[in-house]
Amino acid sequence: MAAPSGRRNGSGGANLWVSLLLAAVALRPVETVSEPTTVAFDVRPGGVVHSFSQNVGPGDRYTCVFTYASQGGTNEKWQMSLGTSEDHQHFTCTIWRPQGKSYLYFTQFKAEVQGAEIEYGMAYSKAAFEKESDVPLKNEEFEVTKTAVFHRPGAFKAELSKLVIVAKATRSEL
C-alpha cells in the first residue's frame, strides 16, 4: 500500500488513504492467540516482603503473583511474562532476571496463580543468559502445589533467578 503523497491542498487523496487504511484494518484476521505480555519490575532487597502481580486472558481471568523477600545488594530489574493458549484454557507465567543470575539472597519466594491450577512449575537458581543454560533448583529446595511454587524453609539455599508456571483453567473458569 502506498503512503499518502503529503499534499495538503485537497482532501481527496487523504480521504482515500484513510479509507484504504480503515479497510485494511477491518479486513485483518482476528487474532485468537493472546500475545505474551512482559512487564519489568524491581526486585528490592531489605528483608521486607514485596509482591508483584499481573493479569492475563479474556477479562483478566488469570493472575500471577510473585511474593518474595531478599537481602543484599541493590534493586535488580526482573520481568514477568504472561500468555494464554489459543483457546484461553492454559496460561503461562515466567518470572526471571534477564541478566541471568541474581546476586540477591532470597529469604523466601512464592509464585502463585489465580483462576487456574498449575500443571507444571519449576524454579531456577540461574536463568539462561548468553551461552549459559538455566540451572534448576534441587527438588528439595521448592514445592509445587495446585496454585503455587514456593521455597521450602530450611532447604532453600537462597538462590533464585527464574520461575516458570504453566496452568490450566479451573472448572469454575471454563
Per-residue pLDDT for the chain (174 aa), expressed as one digit of tens each?
A: 444 333 334 444 444 333 433 333 333 333 344 578 999 999 999 999 999 999 999 899 999 999 999 999 899 999 999 999 999 999 999 999 999 999 999 999 999 999 999 999 999 999 999 888 999 999 999 999 999 999 999 999 999 999 999 999 987 655
Q: Within a domain: residue 1?
A: no
Question: Phi and psi of 21, rounded to 5°?
Answer: -65, -45
- For residue 83, give every residue at least 6 positions away whose Cβ sits within 8 Å of its Cβ, in sequence order, or none: 34, 35, 36, 37, 56, 91, 92
Question: C-alpha grid cell for residue 52?
Answer: 508483584
> Whose grid coordinates read 514485596?
50
The reply to whether 100 falls in a domain is yes
Q: How many domains does the chain have?
A: 1
In a domain, 113, yes or no: yes
In a domain, 134, yes or no: yes
**The whole model's pTM is what?**
0.79
Residue 57 covered by a domain: yes
Domain carrying residue 60: 37-169
